[in-house]
Amino acid sequence: MANGISVYLGLDNTLEENLTLIKKAAKAGITRIFTSLHIPEANTKKLQSELKPILQLAKKENLDVISDVSPNTLALLKMDRFSLNEFARLGLTTLRLDYGFSTKEIADLTNNSLGIKIQLNASTVTQESIIKLFQAGVNPNALEASHNFFPRENTGLSESFIAEKNRLLHRHHIAVSAFIPSFNRPRSPIGAGLPTMELHRTTSFDFSLRHLLALGMDSVFVGDSLPCDEELTLLSKLTDNHVVFLRPALHTAESNIINLISKNFTTRIDEAQDVIRTQESRQYLKEAGFSVQPEHCGKRNYGCITLDNQRYGRYQGELQILKADLPADHRVNVVASLPDSELNLLKYLQPGVSFKLLV
Domains, the chain, with CATH or none: 4-241 (3.20.20.70), 249-357 (2.40.100.10)
Higher pLDDT among residues 239 and 348, named by residue: 348
CA 275, CA 197: separation in Å to the nearest integer?
29
Q: What is the pLDDT of residues 137-186, one digit of tens each?
A: 999 999 999 999 999 999 999 999 999 999 999 999 999 999 999 999 89
pLDDT at 1: 66
pLDDT at 337: 98
| pLDDT > 90 fraction of the chain, expressed in percent and rounded | 86
pLDDT at 80: 82
CB atoms within 10 A of CB 271: 14
CA 164, CA 185: separation in Å to the nearest integer?
31
**Which distant-in-sequence residues (6+ apart) come within 8 Å of 137 by Cβ?**
107, 108, 111
- The CA dihedral of 241, 166, 214, 281, to the nearest 10 degrees, is -70
| pLDDT > 70 fraction of the chain, expressed in percent and rounded | 100
pLDDT at 39: 76
Confidence of residue 254 (pLDDT cuts 50, 70, 90): very high
Query: How many Cα atoms are found within 13 Å in the side-chain-facing hemisphere of 288?
Result: 20
Position 98 pLDDT exceeds 80: no
| Length of the chain as a residue count | 359
- What pTM did the predictor assign? 0.94
Q: Report the mean per-residue pLDDT for the chain.
A: 95
